[in-house]
Amino acid sequence: MSALRVNALRLHFPNPVNDVAARVVAAGVAVVALVAIALGQPWLSAVLAYGFCARVLAGPTLSPLGQLATRVVAPRLTAEPRWVPGPPKRFAQAIGATLTVAAAVAALGFRAHGVADLLLAALVVAATLEAALGVCLGCRLFAVLMRWGWVPADVCAACADISSPAAKALRAAASSRPRGVG
Protein backbone atom coordinates (compact mmCIF):
# COMPACT_ATOMS: atom_id res chain seq x y z
CA MET A 1 0.00 0.00 0.00
CA SER A 2 1.48 3.35 -0.96
CA ALA A 3 2.25 6.04 1.61
CA LEU A 4 -0.34 8.26 -0.07
CA ARG A 5 -3.03 5.61 0.41
CA VAL A 6 -2.11 5.10 4.08
CA ASN A 7 -2.43 8.84 4.67
CA ALA A 8 -5.82 8.78 2.96
CA LEU A 9 -7.00 6.15 5.45
CA ARG A 10 -5.96 8.37 8.39
CA LEU A 11 -4.41 5.53 10.36
CA HIS A 12 -4.34 7.15 13.75
CA PHE A 13 -6.29 6.97 16.94
CA PRO A 14 -8.43 10.09 17.39
CA ASN A 15 -7.82 12.52 20.20
CA PRO A 16 -10.26 13.64 21.49
CA VAL A 17 -12.78 10.81 21.24
CA ASN A 18 -16.55 11.19 21.16
CA ASP A 19 -17.58 9.27 24.27
CA VAL A 20 -21.10 8.83 22.92
CA ALA A 21 -19.74 6.92 19.91
CA ALA A 22 -17.41 4.94 22.19
CA ARG A 23 -20.38 3.87 24.30
CA VAL A 24 -22.23 2.77 21.14
CA VAL A 25 -19.22 0.65 20.17
CA ALA A 26 -19.18 -0.82 23.69
CA ALA A 27 -22.86 -1.74 23.38
CA GLY A 28 -22.16 -3.51 20.09
CA VAL A 29 -19.21 -5.37 21.62
CA ALA A 30 -21.33 -6.49 24.58
CA VAL A 31 -24.07 -7.79 22.28
CA VAL A 32 -21.69 -9.69 19.98
CA ALA A 33 -19.80 -11.21 22.93
CA LEU A 34 -23.09 -12.28 24.57
CA VAL A 35 -24.24 -13.88 21.32
CA ALA A 36 -20.89 -15.70 21.02
CA ILE A 37 -21.29 -17.13 24.53
CA ALA A 38 -25.03 -17.82 24.48
CA LEU A 39 -25.15 -19.43 21.04
CA GLY A 40 -21.77 -21.15 21.23
CA GLN A 41 -20.29 -19.29 18.27
CA PRO A 42 -16.55 -19.11 19.03
CA TRP A 43 -15.73 -17.64 15.61
CA LEU A 44 -17.30 -14.40 16.84
CA SER A 45 -14.34 -13.98 19.21
CA ALA A 46 -12.14 -13.61 16.11
CA VAL A 47 -14.52 -10.98 14.71
CA LEU A 48 -14.34 -9.09 18.00
CA ALA A 49 -10.54 -9.44 18.05
CA TYR A 50 -10.28 -7.93 14.57
CA GLY A 51 -12.48 -5.00 15.60
CA PHE A 52 -10.44 -4.25 18.71
CA CYS A 53 -7.11 -4.55 16.89
CA ALA A 54 -8.41 -2.29 14.10
CA ARG A 55 -9.59 0.32 16.62
CA VAL A 56 -6.26 0.26 18.47
CA LEU A 57 -4.44 0.82 15.18
CA ALA A 58 -6.71 3.40 13.58
CA GLY A 59 -9.65 4.31 15.79
CA PRO A 60 -12.93 3.73 13.96
CA THR A 61 -11.36 3.93 10.48
CA LEU A 62 -10.87 0.17 9.88
CA SER A 63 -13.55 -1.10 12.26
CA PRO A 64 -17.02 -1.83 10.85
CA LEU A 65 -18.51 -1.40 14.33
CA GLY A 66 -16.52 1.82 14.80
CA GLN A 67 -17.77 3.16 11.48
CA LEU A 68 -21.36 2.24 12.30
CA ALA A 69 -21.09 3.94 15.70
CA THR A 70 -19.39 7.15 14.53
CA ARG A 71 -21.09 7.68 11.19
CA VAL A 72 -24.57 6.24 11.63
CA VAL A 73 -25.70 5.68 15.22
CA ALA A 74 -24.03 8.43 17.31
CA PRO A 75 -25.01 11.28 14.95
CA ARG A 76 -28.65 10.19 15.17
CA LEU A 77 -28.79 10.06 18.95
CA THR A 78 -30.18 12.99 20.88
CA ALA A 79 -27.14 13.02 23.17
CA GLU A 80 -24.64 15.76 22.46
CA PRO A 81 -21.09 14.56 21.80
CA ARG A 82 -18.96 14.37 24.94
CA TRP A 83 -15.29 14.67 24.11
CA VAL A 84 -12.76 12.76 26.21
CA PRO A 85 -9.00 12.22 25.85
CA GLY A 86 -8.03 9.56 23.31
CA PRO A 87 -5.09 7.78 25.01
CA PRO A 88 -7.15 6.18 27.82
CA LYS A 89 -9.73 4.97 25.29
CA ARG A 90 -6.96 3.51 23.12
CA PHE A 91 -5.55 1.75 26.20
CA ALA A 92 -9.02 0.32 26.92
CA GLN A 93 -9.27 -0.88 23.30
CA ALA A 94 -5.87 -2.57 23.71
CA ILE A 95 -7.17 -4.44 26.77
CA GLY A 96 -10.19 -5.52 24.71
CA ALA A 97 -7.86 -6.64 21.93
CA THR A 98 -5.85 -8.71 24.40
CA LEU A 99 -8.96 -10.37 25.84
CA THR A 100 -10.52 -11.14 22.46
CA VAL A 101 -7.32 -12.37 20.81
CA ALA A 102 -6.80 -14.67 23.81
CA ALA A 103 -10.43 -15.82 23.56
CA ALA A 104 -10.08 -16.49 19.82
CA VAL A 105 -6.85 -18.44 20.33
CA ALA A 106 -8.38 -20.40 23.21
CA ALA A 107 -11.58 -21.25 21.32
CA LEU A 108 -10.34 -21.70 17.79
CA GLY A 109 -6.77 -22.82 18.38
CA PHE A 110 -7.08 -24.97 21.48
CA ARG A 111 -10.83 -25.74 21.57
CA ALA A 112 -10.83 -24.39 25.15
CA HIS A 113 -14.33 -22.95 24.87
CA GLY A 114 -14.74 -22.52 28.63
CA VAL A 115 -11.65 -20.31 28.81
CA ALA A 116 -12.85 -18.32 25.79
CA ASP A 117 -16.28 -17.88 27.35
CA LEU A 118 -14.74 -16.61 30.61
CA LEU A 119 -12.64 -14.06 28.72
CA LEU A 120 -15.67 -12.96 26.71
CA ALA A 121 -17.76 -12.75 29.90
CA ALA A 122 -15.18 -10.37 31.39
CA LEU A 123 -15.45 -8.34 28.19
CA VAL A 124 -19.25 -8.31 28.46
CA VAL A 125 -19.02 -6.90 31.99
CA ALA A 126 -16.56 -4.17 30.99
CA ALA A 127 -18.40 -3.27 27.78
CA THR A 128 -21.76 -3.16 29.56
CA LEU A 129 -20.37 -0.84 32.24
CA GLU A 130 -19.06 1.44 29.50
CA ALA A 131 -22.21 1.34 27.38
CA ALA A 132 -24.80 1.63 30.14
CA LEU A 133 -23.05 3.72 32.79
CA GLY A 134 -20.15 5.38 31.02
CA VAL A 135 -17.68 3.61 33.30
CA CYS A 136 -14.57 2.77 31.28
CA LEU A 137 -12.57 0.26 33.31
CA GLY A 138 -9.59 0.51 30.95
CA CYS A 139 -9.62 4.30 31.29
CA ARG A 140 -9.64 3.99 35.07
CA LEU A 141 -6.72 1.58 34.96
CA PHE A 142 -4.90 4.03 32.66
CA ALA A 143 -5.43 6.78 35.27
CA VAL A 144 -4.04 4.53 38.03
CA LEU A 145 -1.00 3.67 35.91
CA MET A 146 -0.43 7.39 35.29
CA ARG A 147 -0.70 8.13 39.01
CA TRP A 148 1.88 5.42 39.75
CA GLY A 149 4.17 6.84 37.07
CA TRP A 150 3.99 3.75 34.86
CA VAL A 151 2.44 5.80 32.05
CA PRO A 152 4.40 9.01 31.44
CA ALA A 153 2.47 12.27 31.80
CA ASP A 154 3.37 13.28 28.23
CA VAL A 155 1.33 10.34 26.88
CA CYS A 156 -1.80 12.24 27.87
CA ALA A 157 -1.13 15.72 29.20
CA ALA A 158 -4.88 16.35 29.43
CA CYS A 159 -5.18 13.27 31.66
CA ALA A 160 -2.23 14.23 33.86
CA ASP A 161 -3.41 17.76 34.66
CA ILE A 162 -6.94 18.92 33.99
CA SER A 163 -5.83 22.57 34.20
CA SER A 164 -2.86 22.12 31.85
CA PRO A 165 -2.61 23.99 28.55
CA ALA A 166 -2.98 20.61 26.80
CA ALA A 167 -6.25 19.97 28.62
CA LYS A 168 -7.51 23.43 27.67
CA ALA A 169 -6.47 22.81 24.06
CA LEU A 170 -8.30 19.46 24.13
CA ARG A 171 -11.48 21.17 25.32
CA ALA A 172 -11.12 23.87 22.64
CA ALA A 173 -10.57 21.27 19.92
CA ALA A 174 -13.52 19.25 21.16
CA SER A 175 -15.85 22.21 20.98
CA SER A 176 -15.03 22.66 17.30
CA ARG A 177 -15.37 18.98 16.27
CA PRO A 178 -18.39 17.95 14.14
CA ARG A 179 -21.00 15.80 15.85
CA GLY A 180 -20.54 12.03 15.66
CA VAL A 181 -16.83 12.03 14.77
CA GLY A 182 -14.50 10.08 17.00
In a domain, 181, yes or no: no
In a domain, 84, yes or no: yes
Residues 133 and 43: their CA atoms lie apart, in Å, by: 28
Residue 104 is predicted with a pLDDT of: 98
CB 174 within 8 A of CB 182: no
| pLDDT tens digit sequence for 5-40 | 555 556 889 999 999 999 999 999 999 999 999 999
| pLDDT tens digit sequence for 140-174 | 999 999 999 999 999 998 888 655 555 555 556 55
CA 104 from chain center: how many Å?
18
Give the count of domains, the chain.
1
pTM for this one?
Answer: 0.85
Residue 99 is predicted with a pLDDT of: 98
In a domain, 34, yes or no: yes
Residue 160 is predicted with a pLDDT of: 81
pLDDT surpasses 60 at 43: yes
Extended strands (E) in 58-182: 83-84
In a domain, 45, yes or no: yes
Q: What are the residues whose beta carbons fall under 8 Å from the beta carbon of 50, sequence distance 6 or more?
A: none
In a domain, 28, yes or no: yes
Sign of CA dihedral 54, 127, 35, 97: positive
In a domain, 182, yes or no: no
In a domain, 76, yes or no: yes
Confidence of residue 60 (pLDDT cuts 50, 70, 90): very high
pLDDT surpasses 70 at 134: yes
Higher pLDDT, 12 or 117: 117
Domain range for 129: 3-139+146-176
Q: Which residues pair with 17 in a beta bridge?
A: 84
The amino acid sitting at 89 is K
In a domain, 39, yes or no: yes
pLDDT surpasses 70 at 4: no
